[in-house]
Amino acid sequence: MISVLLEGKHKNTYKKGYYRIEDFTSSVTLIAIKDAIILVDTGTLAYRQQVLDALAHHNIHPSDVTHIINTHFHLDHISNNTLFPHAKQISEHAIFDLKTGKCSIYHDQTLLQK
């Protein structure tokens, strides 16, 4: 099963010389296959309850989520990662510790040599 739990939003405004992003979040997508319950991105804190409600609609508790795939590490994509303490995080460029909130970013030095 694949289900979009939350559609992404991004509203830009420009007032009095300031550029502002309002009402934004990434999409949150649920992939449930065999023994894995996967989320692709987890959205912003402002949409935390909507993510929880959408999971509950599918009879999924946060502790049931086995994996989180973060497309990248902007806050609108990772802010709700801490809801899923048992999930393994999958990302190409960093490991975000769900328990401490710390992120260790590493760079593949071989890419710089090409």
Q: Tell me the percentage of the chain whose pLDDT exceeds 90.
A: 51
76 C-beta neighbours (distance < 10 Å), count: 21
Q: 3-state DSSP call for residue 87?
A: coil
Give the model confidence (pLDDT) of 9-60 as tens digits: 888 888 888 877 788 899 999 999 999 999 999 999 999 999 999 999 999 9
Q: What does pTM read for this prediction?
A: 0.75
Spatial separation of the C-alpha atoms in residues 77 and 11, rounded to whole Å: 16
